[in-house]
């Protein structure tokens, strides 16, 4: 497997983690992750993280490496989930839980509050706004939770929950990425 993603910081810094070649799977680029985790540096330690559309696992693994208390990675593809489990075993962590399930099915289940959510859905499917609203409506977010959203550059993030404030936003190539905070 030639696809690898490198952990940038924390306990597993420099580790290369493989991920399968699956259509639509595009790991968050290292320079974008560097920026995002600089934004989140004071919010990570002891946080409960939810990584929706986990894919390569780069965001959730990076969060765990940098001190998150727990990370739940939700991914529907069986092959991808097997690799996520192997990667968690590779670094020897029990902080990461992998859930093989459709994101909307997961979000319609019993909610638990998360401090930090990574929302990086497949591009051009229209999942980001619906998932964001479900996170808020179905009580998945702690007060002052941070929500990272990564979407295609041309997508306008309209109709997000009214109590979400934009903290940061940037673009890189075809990607736009945002950090929101949920205000109680």
Going along the chain from its start, the domains and CATH numbers come out as 4-182 (3.40.50.150)
The two three-digit tokens of residue 104, written as one number: 């909307």
CB of 175 within 8 A of CB of 164?
no
* This prediction's pTM: 0.96
pLDDT at 89: 96
Residue entry with tokens 């941070």: 146
Confidence of residue 162 (pLDDT cuts 50, 70, 90): very high
pLDDT tens readout for residues 131-144? 999 999 999 999 99
Residue 139, classified by CB atoms within 10 Å of its CB into exposed (0-12), middle (13-18) or buried (19+), is exposed
Specify the DSSP element, H or E, that contains 38: helix 30-39
CB of 142 within 8 A of CB of 169?
no
pLDDT at 2: 65
Question: What secondary structure letter does DSSP report for 28?
Answer: P
pLDDT at 26: 84
CB of 14 within 8 A of CB of 6?
yes
Which of the residue ranges 26-30, 50-54, 114-118, 136-140 would you say has the lowest mean pLDDT? 26-30
Length of the chain: 184
């Amino acid at each position: 497997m030639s696809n690898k993603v490198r952990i940038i910081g924390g306990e597993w810094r420099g580790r290369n983690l493989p991920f399968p070649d699956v259509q639509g799977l595009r790991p968050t680029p290292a320079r974008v992750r560097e920026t995002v985790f600089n934004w989140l540096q004071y919010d990570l330690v002891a946080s409960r993280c939810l990584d929706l559309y986990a894919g390569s696992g780069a965001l959730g693994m990076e969060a765990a490496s940098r001190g998150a208390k727990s990370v739940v990675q939700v991914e529907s593809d069986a092959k991808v989930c097997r690799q996520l489990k192997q990667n968690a075993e590779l670094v020897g962590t029990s902080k990461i839980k992998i859930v093989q399930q459709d994101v909307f099915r997961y979000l319609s289940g019993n909610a638990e509050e998360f401090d930090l959510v990574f929302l990086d859905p497949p591009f051009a499917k229209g999942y980001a706004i619906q998932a964001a609203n479900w996170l808020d409506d179905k009580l998945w977010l702690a007060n002052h939770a941070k929500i990272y959203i990564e979407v295609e550059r041309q997508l306008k993030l309209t109709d997000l929950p009214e109590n979400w404030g934009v903290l940061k936003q940037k673009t890189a190539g075809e990607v736009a990425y945002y950090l929101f905070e949920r205000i109680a």
